[in-house]
Amino acid sequence: MTALHWATISPFLLAILIPFLYKYVRRIHTGWFVLIVPLVLFIYFLSFLPVTANGDAVMRSVPWVPSLGISFDLYIDGLSLLFALLISGIGTLVVLYSVYYLSKHKEKLNNFYVYLLLFMGAMLGVVLSDNLIVLYVFWEITSISSALLISYWFHREKSTYGAQKSMYITVFGGLSMLGGFSLLYVMTGTFSVRVIIANVDLVATSSLFLPAMILILLGAFTKSAQFPFHIWLPDAMEAPTPVSAYLHSATMVKAGIYLVARVTPIFGGAAEWFWIISLVGLTTLIWGSISAVRQKDLKSILAFSTVSQLGMIMSLLGVGSVAYYFNDGDNALYTTAILAAVFHLINHATFKGSLFMTAGIIDHETGTRDIRKLGGLMTLMPITATVSLIGLAAMAGLPPFNGFLSKELFFTAMVNVTEYGIFSVETWGIVLPVLAWIASIFTFLYCAILFFKTFTGKFQPEKLAVKEVHEAPFGMLLSPIILGSLVVIFGLFPNILAYTLVEPAMAAILPGILEPGEQFYVNIYHWHGFILELWMTIGVIAIGTLLFLTMKKWSQSAFYRSEQDIFNHIYDSGYNGLIKGSQVLTRVQMTGMLRDYFLYMCTFIVLIIGYTMIRYDAFAINTDNLSPIDPYMWIVAILLVVSVVAVPFINNRITAIIVAGVAGFLVALIFTIFRAPDLALTQLLVETVSVILFMLVFYHLPDLRKEKIKPSFKLINLIVSIAVGVMITLVSLSAFALGSETNFTSIAAYFIENSKVLAGGYNIVNVILVDFRGLDTMLEILVLGIAALGVVSLIKLRLKGSEDV
Q: Which residue has the higher pLDDT, 88 or 618?
A: 88
481-527, pLDDT tens digit by residue? 999 999 999 999 999 999 999 999 999 999 988 878 788 989 898 88
Cα separation values, 190 from 184, 196, 425, 511, 607, Å: 8, 7, 35, 19, 37
Query: If residue 65 lies in a helix (H) or strand (E), which one and from where to where?
Result: strand 58-65
- pLDDT, tens only, 67-94: 788 899 999 999 999 999 999 999 999 9
Q: Is the pLDDT of residue 755 over 70?
A: yes
Name the strand (E) or helix (H) holding 73. strand 70-76
- Determine the Cα–Cα distance for residues 317 and 311; give it in Å rounded to an integer: 10
pLDDT tens-digit map of 7-47? 999 999 999 999 988 888 878 888 999 999 999 999 999 99
pLDDT more than 70, % of the chain: 96
pLDDT at residue number 275:
93
Q: How confident is the model at residue 100 (pLDDT cuts 50, 70, 90)?
A: very high
Q: At residue 708, does pLDDT exceed 70? A: no
pLDDT at 219: 95
Domain boundaries, the chain: 274-555, 593-747, 748-805
Q: Is the pLDDT of residue 803 over 60?
A: no
Residue 623 has pLDDT above 80, yes or no: no
Say what the pLDDT of residue 767 is. Answer: 84
Q: Is the pLDDT of residue 714 over 80?
A: no
What CA–CA distance (Å, rounded) separates 72 from 2? 11
Q: Which of 280-289, 440-449, 530-539, 632-641 comes out lowest in average pLDDT?
A: 632-641
Phi first, then psi: give them for residue 263, nearest 5 degrees.
Answer: -95, 5
Question: What digits encode the pLDDT tens for the residues 578-607?
Answer: 999 999 988 888 888 888 888 899 999 999
**Average pLDDT estimate for 766-773:** 81
The more confident residue out of 743 and 164 is 164
Question: Which tens digit of pLDDT belongs to each residue from 382-430?
Answer: 999 999 999 999 999 999 999 999 999 999 999 998 888 888 887 788 8
CA angle 431, 432, 435 (to 5 degrees): 80
- Give the torsion through C-alpha atoms of 294, 156, 805, 598, to 10 deg: 40
724, containing H or E segment: helix 711-741
225 backbone dihedrals φ, ψ, rounded to 5°: 55, 45
Helix, coil or strand: residue 151: coil
716 vs 729: CA distance, rounded Å: 20
Which tens digit of pLDDT belongs to each residue from 111-146? 899 999 999 999 999 999 999 999 999 999 999 999
* pLDDT, position 800: 63
Q: From the DSSP assignment, how many helices (H) and strands (E) are in the chain? A: 35, 2
At 732, the pLDDT band (50, 70, 90 cuts) reads: confident
Residue 704 pLDDT level (bands cut at 50, 70, 90): low
Q: H/E element holding 752? A: helix 747-759
**pLDDT value at 336 more than 60:** yes
Place 805 in a pLDDT band, splitting at 50, 70 and 90.
very low
- The pLDDT value recorded for residue 717 is 83
Helix/strand/coil for 708: coil
Does residue 217 contact residue 187 with C-beta atoms inside 8 Å? no
pLDDT at 739: 63
The dihedral sign for the CA sequence 69, 74, 76, 79? positive
Which residues, other chains included, contact 694 with Cβ-Cβ below 8 Å and sequence gap of 6+?
Answer: 657
- Reply yes or no on whether the pLDDT at 703 is more than 80: no
Amino acid at the residue 507: A
pLDDT tens figures, 498-508: 999 999 999 99
Judged against a pLDDT cut of 60, whether residue 290 lies above it is answered with yes
Between 653 and 219, where is the model more confident?
219
pLDDT of 742: 57
User: Alpha-carbon distance 666 to 680, whole Å?
Assistant: 10
| Cross-strand bridge partners of residue 58 | 76
Q: What are the φ/ψ torsions at residue 625 (nearest 5 degrees)?
A: -105, 20
Arithmetic mean of pLDDT, 770-783: 82
